[in-house]
Amino acid sequence: MTSRNSLAVTRYTAFDVHGRGGNPAGVVLDASGASEQEMQAVAAEVGYSETAFLVAGGDPADRRFTVRYFSPLAEVAFCGHATIAAAVAVADQAGTGRLVFDTPAGEVTVETRPADGRVLASLTSVPPKVTAVAGADLAEALVALRWRPEDLDPELPPRVANAGNDHLVLAAATRERLAVLDYDMDALGALMARCGWTTVHLVWRESGDVFHARDPFPPGGVYEDPATGAAAAAFGAYLRDLGLVAAPARVTIHQGADMGRPGRLLVDIPADTAAGITVSGTAAVI
Mean pLDDT, rounded, for 181-187: 98
Q: Could you say which of 38, 45, 50, 140 is catalytic?
A: 50
Angstrom distances, CA of residue 19 to CA of 12, 15, 91, 195: 10, 9, 17, 36
pLDDT in tens, 196-211: 999 999 999 999 999 9
Confidence of residue 61 (pLDDT cuts 50, 70, 90): confident
pLDDT at 62: 87
The DSSP string of 61-119 is GG-EEEEEEE-SSSEES--HHHHHHHHHHHHHHH-SEEEEEEETTEEEEEEEEEETTEE
Q: How far is CA 66 from the centre of its chain?
A: 18
pLDDT in tens, 243-285: 999 999 999 999 999 999 999 999 999 999 999 999 999 999 9
First to last CA, the chain: 11
pTM: 0.93
CA contacts within 13 A on the Cβ side of 133: 26
Q: In terms of Cα–Cα distance, which of 177, 107, 109 is closest to 145?
A: 177
What domains are there in the chain, each with its CATH number? 10-124 (3.10.310.10), 129-274 (3.10.310.10)
Confidence of residue 220 (pLDDT cuts 50, 70, 90): confident
Mean pLDDT, rounded, for 25-42: 97
pLDDT at 3: 55
pLDDT in tens, 232-246: 999 999 999 999 999
Whether 36 sits among the annotated catalytic residues: the reply is no
